[in-house]
């Protein structure tokens, strides 16, 4: 009997809860608005990541081996292994190196964020720059002579950077590969992929 009575005394009514909230309304509103402000600040200072997806269809030549696989089975397992090899190849450093060299020789080299020519400036950074302007650093790798050790080292650096931005997804049952490259700019993501 005592325990039940004790529990009934401890019960808090909805009116009491509302009274507590009303008494602490200034503190609660300060905490909520501060959290909201920090969230908005964090959201607008982040660099976006756009991904353009290219779909590749891998065609295999019909040979006697393919005919044997079709008759005896084991084709899907072999397809899966081949697809895995293609995924690894597309994410490999030599392919990234070839791509970087092609990008370097393209007409868009001086307008790519990837090479540091087109920096992404977040709205928060733009506001800070407007209040207190900071002179951007000039990229000094424009005049490097091709086919020199310094040029090759630079290409290797960019190839490693590109290979981290590439994502390749293979489909389990088909010979279709989805290749995507990340960039802060949508048009550049499309160009890179």
What are the pLDDT digits (tens) for 66-102? 545 544 445 555 566 666 777 788 888 888 999 999 9
Q: How confident is the model at residue 25 (pLDDT cuts 50, 70, 90)?
A: confident
Question: pTM to 2 decimals?
Answer: 0.62
pLDDT given at position 70? 46
What are the pLDDT digits (tens) for 176-187? 888 898 999 999
| Stronger pLDDT, 66 or 120, i.e. the higher one | 120
Question: Is 159 in contact with 85 (CB distance < 8 Å)?
Answer: no
| Stronger pLDDT, 139 or 28, i.e. the higher one | 28
From the list 122, 115, 117, 87, the residue with the least C-alpha distance to 192 is 115
Question: What's the rounded mean pLDDT across residues 33-58?
Answer: 87
Percent of the chain with pLDDT over 70: 75
């Amino acid at each position: 009997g005592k325990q039940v009575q004790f529990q009934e005394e401890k019960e808090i009514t909805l009116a009491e809860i509302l009274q507590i909230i009303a008494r602490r309304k200034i503190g609660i509103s300060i905490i909520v608005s501060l959290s909201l402000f920090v969230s908005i600040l964090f959201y607008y200072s982040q660099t976006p990541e756009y991904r353009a997806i290219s779909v590749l269809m891998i065609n295999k030549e019909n040979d006697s081996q393919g005919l044997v696989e079709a008759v005896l089975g084991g084709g899907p397992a072999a397809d899966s292994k081949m697809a895995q090899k293609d995924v690894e190849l597309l994410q490999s450093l030599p392919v990234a190196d070839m791509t970087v060299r092609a990008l370097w020789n393209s007409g868009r080299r001086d307008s790519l964020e990837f090479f540091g020519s087109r920096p992404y400036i977040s709205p928060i950074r733009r506001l800070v720059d407007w209040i207190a302007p900071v002179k951007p650093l000039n990229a000094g790798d424009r005049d490097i002579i091709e086919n020199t050790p310094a040029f090759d080292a630079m290409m290797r650096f960019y190839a490693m950077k590109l290979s981290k931005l590439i994502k390749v997804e293979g489909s389990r049952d088909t010979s279709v590969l989805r290749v995507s490259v990340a960039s802060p700019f949508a048009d550049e993501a499309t160009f890179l992929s």
